[in-house]
Amino acid sequence: MLRVMRLSASDLALKEDISSLYGFIRSLPISEQAKTMFARPELDGSSGYYNFYSDLTGGVTVLPFSNGQHFFDQNLQQQALNLFESRKQEILQAVEPHLQIDEQGNYIQNQAMTVKELLEHPQHLVVVDNKEPVIVPFYDNSFYQQEVAGRVVPPPPPPPAAAGGGFWRYLLPLLLLLLLLGALAYYFLKVYPWPFVDESEEARKQQIAALEQTIADDKKALDEINNLLEKTNLRLELAEQTLKTKIADDKKTLQEINALLDKTNAALAPKPEPEPAPEPVVEPVVEPEPVPVVNEQPAPGATAAAQTKKLPKCSVIEKQGKMPQLVIASDGSGSMLETMGGKMRIQAAINAAQTLVDNVDKNVPIHLFGIQGCPIARDYGVFGGNNRAQLKRAINQIDPRHSPRPLYVLTPLVSALRGMAGAVDANTEAVGILISDGVDTCPGSKNIDLCSLARDIHAQKPLLKINVVLIGDEAASAKCVADITGGKVYRPSNASALVTDLKNAARSLVKVCVE
């Protein structure tokens, strides 16, 4: 699903039609291709904005508007212009039977009339992938009053036929026609200045028309240049972030190589010969005096040691198949390129997840999923304690900047939840951490209820507790996943808080057993 525009509901004219207009269009006897020419409105009640969606896919170009009309690019969008004209006529024919006229001969404002106005005087017109025209069914009040209201009027009814017949029926119209011709002849021969055409006025009109066309062409070229500059700046920013990430990865790899070389050099270094043991000294045996038993309190520093003794042996719970599990699903969609607290969301999530890996017991296996592109989430597999470096490199791959079109990477949230449930055993304690900043946007799963899915998961895997880390305002629908499975909900406001929240979400896995 592609969002083509977002507009404030408070500016909307014709509020009675917008809520059911899309359903009326879908009911018209027109082709499916023609139905795609109208975007579907959805009201976001919490923000007071309408989001307009299209089932088409591709880049969205907003057409420039000047002098009451939109301008298609003759080189790139000729196909879109042709489709717009043909589908416009098809829809106008379909709504014609639904138009109504009052007693004064004016159109009555209904859904059919709104569709007719949108086709003949659209305010917001976009082109998807330079070939598919889409009308955003929205008028703001000022535009509607200036550009639309009163411009679409029905044709005048035909004059009634005159009663009677014969020669006298035509005499009066003939006399009126002769009088009119005589008046016109007198005006042009005696009154109107010669020659009939004022060449200076005609030339001035042509100059004004040429100037208006030049202004429109310049505005269109300026819009194209601004669009190109915006895309270029975005690509430069993405390239800079990618370069920084690569430098950081190379630095970590170099550190790992140096550490490995240090260990190798230490192993190859010659070991000193052991000194001969001294002769044992025989001393007289002295029986120790008995010491009375005193019920003393443990020293303050002994608390951690006492707690360590309570932990089970790693080999025992490994053999029993009771080693706790951790499964992480991190968002890598295009919306993660937005910022939180001055830092890009995706970079903050990657850094926090890598810090989390260092904080988890090496004996705990970690399963990783990337929520990055439809139709299914990417399964990176399970990583043991000896593969933490590979796990960090995998986390780096959950990044939309690796895609040729990063802003269009969608969110398979339902697939990620199902993958998390399938990755753990039903009889083993497991912790799930879901990091997301939005809802599921995949065409095949965007309408699935997350709360119902969470109840099914909890019934099948009751020992799996999913902690939900919500980033942004549109991620609140995933809150019930934590409530149903027994996990917790975290809402970090910046990168530092995100690191703290991830550590808290996996606090029970910091130390799970002793060797």
Tell which residue, 246, 231, 503, has the closest CA to residue 399: 246
Cα–Cα distance measured from residue 325 to residue 328, given in angstroms and rounded to the nearest whole number: 10
pLDDT reported for residue 371: 93
Q: Is the pLDDT of residue 461 over 60?
A: yes
Report whether pLDDT(305) > 70.
no
> Do residues 51 and 3 touch, judged by C-beta distance below 8 A?
yes
Enter the tokens of residue 57: 């896919």
Query: What is the three-class DSSP state of 431?
Result: strand
- Read off the pLDDT band of 258 (50, 70, 90): confident
**Which residues lie below 8 Å from residue 227, measured CB to CB, with a gap of 6+?**
61
Predicted pLDDT of residue 376: 93
Report, as an integer, the average pLDDT of 426-435: 92
What pLDDT, on the 0 to 100 scale, is given for residue 327?
A: 96
What is the structure's pLDDT at 284?
46
The pLDDT value given to residue 169: 62
Cα 439 to Cα 453: distance, rounded to the nearest angstrom? 14
| Domain definitions of the chain by residue range | 2-148, 176-256, 313-509
The pLDDT value recorded for residue 291 is 36
Q: How far is CA 262 from CA 81, 174, 271, 290, 390, in A?
A: 68, 115, 16, 51, 20
d(CA 158, CA 205): 35
For residue 435, count CB atoms less than 10 angstroms from its CB and return exposed for 0-12, middle for 13-18, buried for 19 or more. Answer: buried
Question: Peptide bond before 270: cis, by omega within 30 degrees of 0?
Answer: no
Percent of the chain that is helix, strand, coil (3-state, to 5): 50, 15, 35
Q: Which two tokens stand for residue 425?
A: 């055993």
CA-based nearest residue to 55, from 45, 66, 40, 42: 40
Residue 392 pLDDT level (bands cut at 50, 70, 90): very high
Preceding peptide of 29 cis, ω within 30°: no
Higher pLDDT: 402 or 19? It is 402
At 155 the pLDDT is: 52
Task: Tell whether domain 313-509 is in CATH 3.60.20.10.
Answer: no
Q: Give the span between the Cα atoms of 90 and 116, in whole angstroms.
A: 11
Q: How much of the chain exceeds pLDDT 90, in percent?
A: 38
Give the up-direction half-sphere exposure of residue 293: CA atoms within 13 A in the CB hemisphere: 1
User: Which residues make Cβ contacts (< 8 Å) with residue 514, sequence separation at least 6?
Assistant: 308, 311, 312, 313, 314
Mean pLDDT computed over 445-455: 90
**Poorest-pLDDT segment among 28-37, 144-153, 285-294:** 285-294
Q: What is the pLDDT of residues 272-285, one digit of tens each?
A: 555 555 554 444 44
For residues 484-495, give the mean pLDDT: 92
Angle subtended by helix axes 199-268 and 388-396, to nearest 10 = 180
Report the C-alpha gap between 369 and 347 in whole angstroms.
Answer: 17
Cα separation of 420 and 328, whole Å?
8
Which amino acid, one-letter code, is at 163? Answer: A
* The model's pTM: 0.43
| 380-403 mean pLDDT | 92
pLDDT at residue number 231? 84
Confidence of residue 150 (pLDDT cuts 50, 70, 90): low
Local confidence band at 385 (pLDDT 50, 70, 90 cut-offs): confident
- pLDDT band, residue 192 (cuts 50/70/90): low
Instruction: State the chain's mean pLDDT as an integer.
Output: 83
Q: What single-letter amino acid sits at 234?
A: L
Q: How confident is the model at residue 367 (pLDDT cuts 50, 70, 90)?
A: very high
**Residue 162's pLDDT is what?**
46
Give 356's contacts (C-beta < 8 A, 6+ positions apart).
Answer: 328, 433, 499, 502, 503, 505, 506
Q: Kindly report which listed range (230-234, 353-357, 384-388, 484-488) carries the lowest average pLDDT score.
A: 230-234
The mean per-residue pLDDT over the stretch 392-412 comes to: 89
CA distances from 285 to 95, 176, 281, 292 (A): 114, 151, 12, 21
- Res 298: pLDDT: 43
- Show the tokens assigned to 259: 């550490």
What local confidence, expressed as pLDDT, does residue 295 receive?
A: 36
Q: What per-residue confidence (pLDDT) applies to 268?
A: 65
Contacts of 239 (CB under 8 A, 6+ apart): none
Whether 505 shows a pLDDT value over 80: the answer reads: yes
Q: How confident is the model at residue 406 (pLDDT cuts 50, 70, 90)?
A: confident
pLDDT at 157 over 80: no
Identify the burial level of 232 via C-beta atoms within 10 angstroms of its C-beta, where 0-12 means exposed, 13-18 middle and 19 or more buried.
exposed
The confidence score (pLDDT) of residue 296 equals 36
Q: How confident is the model at residue 86 (pLDDT cuts 50, 70, 90)?
A: very high
Ranking 63-67, 242-246, 413-417, 502-506 by mean pLDDT, the lowest is 242-246
Q: What does the pLDDT look like over 335-351, one tens digit per residue? A: 888 888 888 899 999 99
Q: Residue 422: in which H helix or E strand, if any?
A: helix 413-422
- As given in the structure block, the two tokens for residue 168 are 């006298």
Residue 288: pLDDT over 60: no
For 403, phi then psi, to 5°, come to -85, 145
Decide: 329 and 417 in contact? Cβ < 8 Å.
yes
